[in-house]
Copies of this chain bind each other. A is one copy, B any other.
């Protein structure tokens, strides 16, 4: 099993969710994060003085998938999150050693 961690633009979350659920992937966990990268932040004004705020609000989606779902899931996320602009974000993949569903004690692929 793999854990896909996608850092994307916040307003793309719904699109990505829809794309994943079309692959039959229903479960995921969303965190509001702040991103630093190539995409520039914004200027803020405070009583006439300007400040540069360099973080950008991002959404981090964590999706655990079966190994055989990985490629499709990656492509689905990539396609749905892409707007062609800097700051569209990144996808990270790590190996999952174990997954347990708390309620049923199921583990492994069954737990997803």
Contacts and interface: CB of A to CB of B under 8 A. Distances in A.
Interface of A: 2-3, 6-8, 17, 26-38, 55, 58, 60, 64, 74, 77-78, 81-103, 105, 111
B84 A92 contact: no
Contacts of A100: 74, 78, 90-91
Nearest to A105: B78
B82 A103 contact: yes
Contacts of A78: 100, 102, 105
A84 B103 contact: yes
Given A26-B38, A35-B29, A55-B30, A90 B97 contact: no
A103 to B, nearest CB: 4
A93 B95 CA distance: 9
